[in-house]
C-alpha cells in the first residue's frame, strides 16, 4: 500500500504516543519491584538506582507467596489439561460429524462466552457449601474444585479453537489411515494428532493465560489452601499503607510468563479472544 | 465398534443393527464427555441459582421457605441495585465506545507503517495480556495522590495533587479510562485480523478512479468489516457488562457506590450481607439482560456470517 509521507508520519506519531502510554505505567511499575524499600514511594520517582531482588525474596519466602505461585501453577495447568482431555475429542467430533443439532450446540458453546462469572460463581459457592454439609465431601478450597469450575470458561474455548484446527485438515487423512486398517481412534491418535500438535500447544498456552489471570472465581471459591497469585497481590494493599515494592514484585511474577507466551502466540491470541467466531 | 462384530455367528442381524446404531451415534462418543461436564458446571449452577432465587436462603439458615418472585421484586425495588445497574450501563457505553475508537484507530494506522510495525504491535497489546487485577493495582499506584506518577506530572504543570479515585466526580471516569486502557487491544487485534483478510481488488480499482481515502474507508472498508466490527462490539459489551476485577481493587465500588458494578453489588449482597437468594435473583436478572443484548447482536451477526 502506497501511503503519503504526511499520513505515514502522523501514523507513527499517534502509534508511538499510544505505545508510550502503554509502557509508562508498565515499566515504571515494574521498576518499583527492584527498588529498595526507602525509595518505593519517593516523588519525583527515582529512575536510577541499584536494583535489588529483596522484594522478590520477601514476597516469595517471608510472605510465603511461593505457595500461591504453586497453587496458581497447579490450578492453571490442571484445568488446562482437563479441558484438553475433554475438549480435543469434542472438537474433533464437531469438526468431522454433521448431526442433528450440531450447529445449535456450537452456537450454544459460543453463548457460554457471554455468561458473567458471578452467575456461576455464586451457585458454585453455595453448592460446594451445601454438598459439604450434606455429605462431608469437601470441594471447597480444593485445587480440584477450582479446576472443575474453571471448565466453565476453558472447555468451550478449547472446543472452539481446536475445532478450527481440525476443520482445516482434510478428512481424507483419517479415511486413508482407516482403509489401511486403523480404527478411527487409532487414526486420530497416530495420524491426526501429530499434525494438529502445534495447534494443541497453542490452545493449551492460551488457555493457561486465561486460567492464570483469573481472579473472580478464585476470590469466591479459594481459601487458605488454594489461594492463587492474583489473590496474593491484593494482600499488599492495606488502607493507607501499600507495600508498593512487594506488590509490584508479585505483579511482575504474574505478568512475566504471560508476556513471554504472548510473544509466541500473537496469531492464536485473536482466535482465543474472539472464540473463533471470526472464522 | 469392532468391524468383525457383524460377522460373528448367531444374532447376525442384531449385532449388525447395534453396529449401525453405534455408527450413527458415534459423534456422542467424542462430544458426550465434554457436554456432560458443561451441563454440570454451567447449566446445573444456573438451574440451582434459579431455584435458590425462589426461596429465602442464606448460608447459615436451615429453613428455606418458598417466597416466589419476592426476591426479584426486592431486587428491582432496591436503590443500590438500580444505582449499580446504572453504573454498569455507564461502563458499557463509555468503555466500549472508548476502547472501540482507540482500537479501531490503531488498527487503521498500523497498516500505514512498515518499519517497526511488529514491535509497536507487540507493545500495544501488552495491556490485554495482563491480569485485570494487576492492571487495577498498577493504576492505583499511578493515581496515588501523594506519590503517583500522574500527580507528579500534574504537579509539574502546576496543578495540585488530586485524589482522583476518592472523589465521586472523577472516580467512575478514572475506572472507565483504565478499563479502556486494558481492553482497546481486543478491538485492535480483532479489527486488524479482519482487515488482513479483506480482498485487495476493490481498493486498487477505487484508487485508480481517484476516490478519496475517506470515501474508500466509508464505502469499502466499513461495509466489508461489518461482521468483524460486530464481533468486537459484542465481546467488548459482554466484558464491560461484567466488570469486576479492576473496580474491586481500584475503588471497591466507592466512593458512595459511584463505581459499584452489578457484579460487585451481587458479590457483596451474597458474601457481605449474606443474602444468597436475593443475589441469586439479581444474577438471574443479569443473565437475562446480557442474554438479550447478545442475542440481538448475534442476530445482526448471523445476517453477515455463518457460524458453526
pTM, full prediction: 0.89
pLDDT, greater one: A22 or B254: A22
Closest CA of chain B from A216, distance in Å: 7
Q: How far is B11 from chain A (nearest CA, A)?
A: 24
**Residue A117, SS3 per DSSP:** helix
- Greater confidence, B161 or A90? A90
Cβ contacts of B139 on chain A, cutoff 8 Å = 25
For residue B308, what pLDDT is reported? 40
Residue B190 has pLDDT above 80, yes or no: yes
Residue of A nearest to B152 (CA): A44
Confidence band (pLDDT; 50, 70, 90) for B173? very high
What is the residue whose three cell numbers read 479459594? A222
Contact call for A274 and B190, based on CB within 8 A: yes
A215 → closest Cβ in B131, B242, B266: B131
**Averaged pLDDT for residues B42-64:** 85
**Range of A70-84, A95-109, A228-242, B114-128 with top mean pLDDT:** A70-84
Residues in B touching A274 (Cβ below 8 Å): 190, 193, 231, 235
Preceding peptide of B214 cis, ω within 30°? no
CB contact under 8 A, A124 and B45: yes
Q: Per the CB < 8 Å rule, is A270 touching B189? A: yes
- A98, A103, A115, A269, best to mutate vs chain B, most B CBs in 10 Å: A115
| Contact status, residue B235 vs residue B61, Cβ threshold 8 Å | no
Kindly list the residues from chain B whose CB atom is less than 8 angstroms away from the CB atom of residue A90.
Answer: 30-31, 33-35
Query: What is the percent of chain A with per-residue pLDDT over 90, rounded to a whole number?
Result: 38
Which tens digits make up the pLDDT trace of A57-116? 888 888 888 999 999 999 999 999 999 999 999 999 998 888 888 888 888 888 888 899
Q: What is the ipTM score, two decimals?
A: 0.89
- Predicted local distance difference test score (pLDDT) of residue A278: 63
The answer on pLDDT for A267 being more than 70 is yes
Closest CB to B138: pick one of A97, A107, A251.
Answer: A251
| Mean model confidence pLDDT for chain B | 86
The Cα of A179 is separated from the nearest Cα of chain B by a number of Å equal to 12
Angle between helices A5-32 and A244-274 (to 10 degrees): 140
The percent of residues in chain A predicted with pLDDT above 70, rounded, is: 96
Q: How many CA atoms lie within 13 A of B119 on its CB side?
A: 6
The pLDDT value given to residue A79: 96
Which chain B residue has the Cα nearest residue A102?
Answer: B308
Please report residues of A whose CB lies closer than 8 A to that of B22: none
Which residues from B are below 8 Å from A87, CB to CB?
A: 34
Residue B279: which pLDDT band, with cuts at 50, 70 and 90?
very high
Which residues on A lie below 8 Å from B165 (Cβ)? none
Tell me whether residues B27 and A97 touch, CB distance under 8 A: yes
Burial class (CB in 10 A: 0-12, 13-18, 19+), A98: exposed
Chain B residues whose CB is inside 8 A of the A28 CB are: 142, 149
Percent residues over pLDDT 90 in chain B? 39
Asked if B287 lies within 8 A of A119 by C-beta distance, the reply is yes
- Average pLDDT score over residue span B48-73: 83
pLDDT for residue B5: 46
Per-residue pLDDT, A179 = 85
Burial (CB count within 10 angstroms: exposed 0-12, middle 13-18, buried 19+), residue B39: exposed
For residue A34, how many C-alpha atoms fall within 13 Å in the half-sphere facing its CB?
A: 11
Residue B165 confidence (pLDDT):
83
Contact A118, A216 (CB under 8 A): yes
Provide the pLDDT for residue A183: 84
Residue of chain A with shortest Cα separation from B107: A15
Return the pLDDT at A144: 93
User: Of B37, B130, B139, which has the smallest distance from its Cβ to A155's Cβ?
Assistant: B37
User: At CA B149, angle to CA A37 and CA A68, rounded to 5?
Assistant: 50
pLDDT of residue A44: 74
What H or E segment, with its residue span, contains residue A92?
helix A65-96
Q: CB A116 to CB B31 under 8 A?
A: no
Residues B167-191, mean pLDDT to the nearest whole number: 92
SS3 of chain B: the string is CCHHHHHCCCCHHHHHHHHHHHHHCHHHHHHHHHHHHHHHHHHHHHHHHHHHHCECCCCCCCCCCECCCHHHHHHHHCHHHHHHHHHHHHHHHHHHHHHHHHHHHHHHHHCCCCCCHHHHHHHHCHHHHCCHHHHHHHHHHHCCCCCCHHHHHHHHCCCCCCCCCCCHHHHHHHHHHHHHHHHHHHHHHHHHHHHHCCCCHHHHHHHHCCCCHHHHHHHHHHHHHHHHHHHHHHHHHHHHHCCCHHHHHHCCCCCCCCCCCHHHHHHHHHHCCCCHHHHHHHHHHHHHHHHHHHHHHHHHHHHHCCCC
pLDDT of residue B1: 45
At A2 the pLDDT is 65
Q: Is the pLDDT of residue B6 over 60?
A: no
| A125 has pLDDT over 80 | yes
What are the CA-CA distances from residue A6 to residues A12, A13, B63 (Å)? 10, 11, 73
The C-alpha angle with vertex A228 and arms to A222 and A233, in degrees rounded to 5, equals 120
At residue A240, the pLDDT reads 61
**Choosing among A123, A146, A147, which should be mutated to test the B contact, i.e. which has the most B CBs within 10 A?**
A123
pLDDT grade for B244, boundaries at 50, 70 and 90: very high
pLDDT score of A81: 97
Secondary structure (DSSP) of A161-182:
HHHHHHHHS-THHHHHHHHTT-
A238 pLDDT tier (thresholds 50, 70, 90): low
CA distance A146 to A79: 8
- Is it true that domain B70-304 has CATH number 1.10.3720.10? yes
pLDDT of A110 reads: 84
pLDDT at A24: 93
C-alpha cell recorded at residue A221? 471459591
Average pLDDT of chain A is 87
Q: From the list A12, A86, A215, which residue is nearest B133 (CB)? A: A215
CATH class of A65-274: mainly alpha
Q: Where along chain B do its domains lie? A: 3-53, 70-304
**Taking a C-beta distance cutoff of 8 angstroms, is the pair A270, B193 a contact?**
yes
Helix (H, G, I), strand (E, B) or coil at A241: strand
Q: Residue B109: which of A15, A152, A230 has the nearest Cβ?
A: A15
Which of these ranges, A157-161, B162-166, B279-283, has the smallest mean pLDDT?
B162-166
pLDDT at residue number A19? 95
Count of alpha carbons within 13 Å of A84, Cβ hemisphere only? 19
Task: For A176-222, write each residue's pLDDT tens digit.
Answer: 888 888 888 888 888 888 888 888 998 999 899 999 999 999 999 99
Closest residue of chain B to A43, computed from CA coordinates? B147
Residue A277 is predicted with a pLDDT of 65
Which of the 8 DSSP states describes residue A189?
I
Q: Say yes or no to pLDDT of B2 above 50.
A: no
Amino acid at each position: 500500500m502506497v501511503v503519503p509521507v504526511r499520513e505515514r508520519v502522523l501514523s507513527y506519531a499517534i502509534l508511538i504516543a499510544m505505545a508510550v502510554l502503554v509502557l509508562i505505567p508498565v515499566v515504571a511499575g515494574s521498576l518499583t519491584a527492584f527498588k529498595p524499600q526507602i525509595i518505593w514511594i519517593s516523588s519525583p520517582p527515582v529512575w536510577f538506582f541499584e536494583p535489588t531482588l529483596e522484594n522478590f525474596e520477601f514476597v516469595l519466602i517471608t510472605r510465603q507467596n511461593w505457595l500461591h505461585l504453586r497453587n496458581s501453577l497447579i490450578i492453571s495447568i490442571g484445568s488446562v489439561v482437563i479441558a484438553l482431555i475433554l475438549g480435543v475429542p469434542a472438537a474433533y467430533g464437531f469438526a468431522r460429524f454433521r448431526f442433528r443439532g450440531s450447529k445449535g450446540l456450537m452456537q450454544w458453546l459460543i453463548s457460554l462466552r457471554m455468561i458473567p462469572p458471578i452467575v456461576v460463581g455464586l451457585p458454585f459457592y453455595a453448592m460446594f457449601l451445601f454438598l459439604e454439609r450434606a455429605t462431608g465431601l469437601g470441594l471447597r478450597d480444593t485445587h480440584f474444585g477450582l479446576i472443575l469450575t474453571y471448565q466453565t470458561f476453558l472447555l468451550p474455548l478449547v472446543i472452539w479453537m481446536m475445532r478450527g484446527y481440525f476443520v482445516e485438515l482434510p478428512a481424507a487423512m483419517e479415511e486413508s489411515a482407516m482403509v489401511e486398517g486403523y480404527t478411527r481412534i487409532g487414526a486420530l491418535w497416530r495420524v491426526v494428532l501429530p499434525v494438529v500438535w502445534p495447534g494443541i500447544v497453542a490452545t493449551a498456552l492460551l488457555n493457561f493465560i486465561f486460567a492464570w489471570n483469573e481472579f473472580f472465581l478464585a476470590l469466591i471459591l479459594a481459601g487458605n489452601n488454594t489461594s492463587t497469585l492474583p489473590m496474593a497481590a491484593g494482600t499488599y494493599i492495606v488502607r493507607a499503607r501499600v507495600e508498593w515494592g512487594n506488590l509490584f514484585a508479585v505483579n511482575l511474577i504474574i505478568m512475566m510468563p504471560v508476556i513471554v507466551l504472548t510473544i509466541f502466540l500473537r496469531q492464536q491470541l485473536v482466535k482465543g479472544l474472539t472464540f473463533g467466531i471470526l472464522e | 465398534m469392532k468391524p468383525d462384530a457383524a460377522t460373528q455367528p448367531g444374532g447376525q442381524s442384531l449385532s449388525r443393527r447395534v453396529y449401525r446404531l453405534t455408527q450413527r451415534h458415534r459423534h456422542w462418543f467424542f462430544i458426550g464427555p465434554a457436554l456432560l461436564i458443561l451441563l454440570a458446571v454451567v447449566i446445573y449452577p444456573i438451574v440451582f441459582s434459579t431455584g435458590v432465587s425462589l426461596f429465602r436462603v442464606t448460608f447459615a439458615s436451615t429453613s428455606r421457605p418458598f417466597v416466589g418472585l419476592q426476591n426479584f421484586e426486592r431486587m428491582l425495588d432496591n436503590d443500590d441495585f438500580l444505582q449499580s445497574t446504572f453504573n454498569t450501563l455507564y461502563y458499557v457505553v463509555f468503555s466500549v465506545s472508548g476502547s472501540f475508537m482507540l482500537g479501531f484507530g490503531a488498527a487503521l494506522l498500523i497498516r500505514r507503517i512498515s518499519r517497526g510495525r511488529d514491535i509497536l504491535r507487540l507493545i500495544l497489546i501488552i495491556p490485554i495480556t495482563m491480569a485485570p487485577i494487576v492492571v487495577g493495582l498498577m493504576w492505583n499506584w499511578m493515581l496515588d495522590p501523594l506519590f503517583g506518577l500522574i500527580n507528579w506530572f500534574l504537579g509539574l504543570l502546576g496543578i495540585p495533587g488530586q485524589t482522583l479515585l476518592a472523589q465521586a466526580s472523577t472516580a467512575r471516569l478514572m475506572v472507565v479510562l483504565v478499563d479502556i486502557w486494558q481492553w482497546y487491544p481486543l478491538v485492535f487485534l480483532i479489527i486488524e485480523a479482519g482487515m488482513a483478510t479483506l480482498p485487495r481488488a476493490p481498493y486498487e480499482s477505487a484508487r485508480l478512479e481517484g476516490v478519496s481515502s475517506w470515501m474508500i474507508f466509508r464505502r469499502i472498508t466499513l461495509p466489508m468489516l461489518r461482521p468483524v466490527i460486530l464481533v468486537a462490539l459484542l465481546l467488548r459489551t459482554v466484558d464491560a457488562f461484567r466488570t469486576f476485577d479492576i473496580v474491586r481493587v481500584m475503588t471497591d465500588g466507592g466512593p458512595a457506590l459511584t463505581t459499584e458494578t452489578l457484579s460487585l453489588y451481587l458479590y457483596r449482597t451474597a458474601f457481605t450481607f449474606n443474602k444468597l437468594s436475593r443475589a441469586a435473583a439479581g444474577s438471574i436478572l443479569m443473565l437475562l439482560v446480557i442474554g438479550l443484548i447478545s442475542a440481538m447482536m448475534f442476530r445482526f451477526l448471523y445476517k453477515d456470517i455463518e457460524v458453526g
